[in-house]
Amino acid sequence: MTQTHKSSLTPLIAANWKMHGDMSWIDKVTELDALLPKNEREHVDLLLCPPFTMVSTMHVLGSPLSIYIGAQNCHADVSGAHTGEVSAEMLADAGASYVIIGHSERRAAGETNADVRAKAEAAKRAGLTAIVCVGESLAQREVGEAIATVLAQIEASVPDFVDVIAYEPIWAIGTGKVPTMDDIADMHAAIRSAVGPNVRILYGGSVKPANAQDILAVANVNGALIGGASLEMDSLAAIARSAPRK
């Protein structure tokens, strides 16, 4: 894969709130800001990805605090007869700067590699940074096909211009299970070889304050995509603090 777009490898600490939260949660933006004084966050980029309904309001709060706001999905088209869908342009208009694409929960619901690629193209078209998710199942890992599976997913679903890839082993999401640090290192090294030096490669899957320091210190881990532990700002702040000053 040829890289045409340079990007910083500053660790990205990205919260995926999934379908959690209501408008009272917008205060979590200021709570996170208060928990992380400037000297405890200048080594990371902070990103909150709430449900669509909260993106706009959280952007207004987050923008002056340098906390990025993103979404968890988008449609590939600019507009059209797609009831219930939201385009990348609409997300950009609401103030999002990132969008998570191809999360395993969406792939499990039928999203194909071609869909993921089209959504990544849409994100670029709208000026959003796509975080494209890839990851193997437990069965694929157990038969020794984890790396081959992930590289095939990248080949099929990640366009060359993508700046951020999240490696999320499906069996580690929301389970409390985490690969060994050696397994994370091997996977991230393989992804690095495939995508070149400028892509941020996040790890996701049961990242918590207790394991974040070890995971974020692994070579070629350029941040984390965090589900459950991102719902409480003190644990998200603790994870951000534990990122290395790389």
Binding site for ligand PEP (CB under 6 A): 16, 168, 173-174, 204-207, 225-229
Calculate the alpha carbon distances from 23 to 27, 48, 54, 58 in Å: 8, 14, 7, 9
94 vs 189: CA distance, rounded Å: 36
Q: How far is the CB of 43 from ligand PEP (least distance, A)?
A: 21
Position closest to ligand PEP via CB: 227
Specify the residue, 62 or 205, whose C-beta has the smaller distance to ligand PEP.
Answer: 205
Catalytic residues: 103, 168
Specify the residue, 147 or 178, whose C-beta has the smaller distance to ligand PEP.
Answer: 178
CB atoms within 10 A of CB 48: 29
Specify the residue, 89 or 237, whose C-beta has the smaller distance to ligand PEP.
Answer: 237
CB atoms within 10 A of CB 195: 21
* Residue of 104, 35, 34, 99 lying closest to 72 (CA atoms): 99
45 forms beta bridges with: 12
